[in-house]
Amino acid sequence: MKVKPRIPDAKDLTWNPSHEELHRLTGEMPNARRSEFENWNVQTAVDARSKASTFIVTDHPELHSGQCITRAEGERLAKMQDEHIAHCEMLVIDGYIGNDPSFRTRARLVIDRNNANIAGMQKILFYDAENAGEDFDPELTVIYTPNLAVRDYPMERVIAVDLERNVTRVMNSDYFGESKKGGLRMWNKLVYDRGGLPLHAGCKVIPTDAGEKVMLIVGLSGTGKTTTTFTRQNDSKPVQDDFVAMMPDGKIYATENGCFAKTFALDPEFEPTIYHAVTRPTAYLENVYQDGEGKVDFFNTDYTQNGRAVFAMQDLGWSKDARELSTADFLLILNRNENIIPAVARLDRAQAAAYFMLGETQGTSAGGADEMGKFLRVPGTNPFFPLQHGLQGNRFLELLEKHSFQVFLLNTGRVGGPDEDERSKKVGIADSSAVVKGIAEGTIRWTTDPDFGYEVAASVPGLADEELLRPIELYRRQGREAEYQGLVERFRRERTEFLGKFGNLSADIVGAV
């Protein structure tokens, strides 16, 4: 029987303050400034998630792929945090992860009143709980003390994830992502234990002549998952931005009632829907540049490229409720590459599971300085899956064999080289949007790629540059065929080595690359 965490004794405890009260408390923070949009913009000391400081609390580290600490050490940290809270004024935010009564998860955040913006943002993302308050019985709890440093840990910071008690304790980070991911990381295990698969994915519904098509968009933070989800094709509607659950019967469940979006290079011309929601007075900004007059510049990165905003789904003005969905028709795996990955490739089942597990991308500011600009492979494109990573690939293949959704690989980066290489070409938002529309409508013509075995596009309506569709043609035109073949051999070798690290991964998946 699990031991449920109690709320630590605090100097003062405020239960479930209103959105208005949280806005007022945020305004009292010395690092909060009111922007030209009349919303609060908070500059935090920590500007990205702290992977190096994140640990699973367990005496069985063999069950997990991430860093672990012993249960005794977890108890020591819990005692230290509880003693700190005894001198603090704290806020409690109750709500649901998910909105389907048959699947929603009761969740609670306990946070220092001095960091009221985190409470305000989390309240937006939670679905409202009917019985919030002292009688609320949370299944998942995040206890958050941003101002408690912990010696002998990286950056004197700890995120201690106790999956046996379903409590995550965050210490010495004031970055909102640790609250959001704290609950979702534990929710990942609940979904897997129930026979499903948690997907780090957006979800949208696209109307077509053949009816509405449900599309899932899997990708690491910074690969364009939010942009792809909210870009409109045929008056498409977003359902979810960051995490969904796919269950054994194929049913899709949502998690959040809002969005935690990157704001770097946010342009109303290319992303009008997100821009409209971000610039409402009810949104929260985090680490977005603004001048002394409150003027916001989403392109300025003097402080960080990882500026963020939280807004409610209702502020988009249009969305689709996940409870109206049944199963997915398509799943897109986003890969921000910069050399030979085409704008789109169609995958067979084994290939789909392999590329899902590869989780390839150029690292972005979302992962902090250690990941920025580096080529990464993150299993399942899900850095928040708390069990052995190989379990994701096998479960994905099982679901794919039961249900007939198609899987595609999308490059949201470049072909031919990095940004500073004048020979390269960008896969722009309009290009990706044409691909998504073509997938939904079934209008893409396909041909087999001789090097990787997947299908690449012979043509995509609305995308004229065929070198984005078949990068070999760009390399051939530029006299770089030997470079192209060298990259093919390198990717084959590195992918096989990477997948071979997961001893419990299906041989069919490993052999697909």
Give the chain's mean pLDDT.
Answer: 93
Q: Hey, what's the torsion of the CAs at 269, 274, 280, 285, to 10 degrees?
A: -110
Distance CA(482)–CA(499), nearest Å, equals 26
Q: Which of 291, 292, 284 is nearest to 175 (CA)?
A: 284
Statement: residue 360 has pLDDT above 80 = yes
Statement: residue 367 has pLDDT above 60 = no
Q: Which of 47, 173, 126, 117 is nearest to 285 (CA)?
A: 117
Statement: residue 434 has pLDDT above 90 = yes
Q: What is the pLDDT of residue 223?
A: 85
Q: Hey, what's the torsion of the CAs at 507, 395, 198, 452, to 10 degrees?
A: 40
The architecture of the domain spanning 260-316 is Beta Complex (2.170)
Sign of CA dihedral 360, 361, 365, 371: positive
Write the pLDDT tens digit of every residue in 242-263.
999 999 999 999 999 999 999 9
* Percent of the chain with pLDDT strictly greater than 90: 86
Query: How much is the average pLDDT of 226-241?
Result: 92
Write the pLDDT tens digit of every residue in 450-509.
999 999 999 999 999 999 999 999 999 999 999 999 999 999 999 999 999 998 899 999
Distance CA(124)–CA(214), nearest Å, equals 25
Write the pLDDT tens digit of every residue in 334-352.
998 999 999 999 999 999 9
Bridge partners for 90 per DSSP: 13, 112
End-to-end CA distance of the chain: 43
CATH number at 198-256+322-510:
3.90.228.20
Other CB atoms within a 10 A radius of the CB of residue 137 amount to: 9
Q: What is the pLDDT of residue 1?
A: 45
Across 307-323, b (16+ Cβ under 10 Å) vs e yields bbbbbbbebbeebbebe
In the chain, what are the domain boundaries?
A: 12-194, 198-256+322-510, 260-316
CA distances from 201 to 207, 223, 412 (A): 20, 11, 15
- Length, in residues, of the chain: 513
Write the pLDDT tens digit of every residue in 384-423.
999 999 999 999 999 999 988 999 999 999 999 999 999 9
Q: Which two tokens stand for residue 487?
A: 């990259």
12-194 and 198-256+322-510: same fold? no
Which helix (DSSP H) or strand (DSSP E) does residue 106 occupy?
A: strand 105-112
Statement: residue 370 has pLDDT above 60 = no
Q: What are phi and psi of 377, to 5 degrees?
A: -130, 115
Statement: residue 96 has pLDDT above 70 = yes
Distance CA(492)–CA(331), nearest Å, equals 23
Query: How much is the average pLDDT of 436-443?
Result: 97
Cβ neighbors of 445 (< 8 A, separation 6 or more) are: 457, 458, 459
Q: What is the pLDDT of residue 467?
A: 98
User: Are 423 and 416 within 8 A, CB to CB?
Assistant: yes
Which residue would you say has higher pLDDT here, 317 or 180?
180
Q: Which of 311, 320, 239 is nearest to 282 (CA)?
A: 311
Candidate from 39-43, 75-79, 135-139, 221-225 with smallest mean pLDDT: 221-225
What fold, for 12-194? Phosphoenolpyruvate Carboxykinase; domain 1 (3.40.449)
Side-chain half-sphere of 14: how many Cα atoms within 13 Å?
Answer: 15
**Largest Cα span, the chain:** 70
Write the pLDDT tens digit of every residue in 286-310.
999 999 999 999 999 999 999 999 9
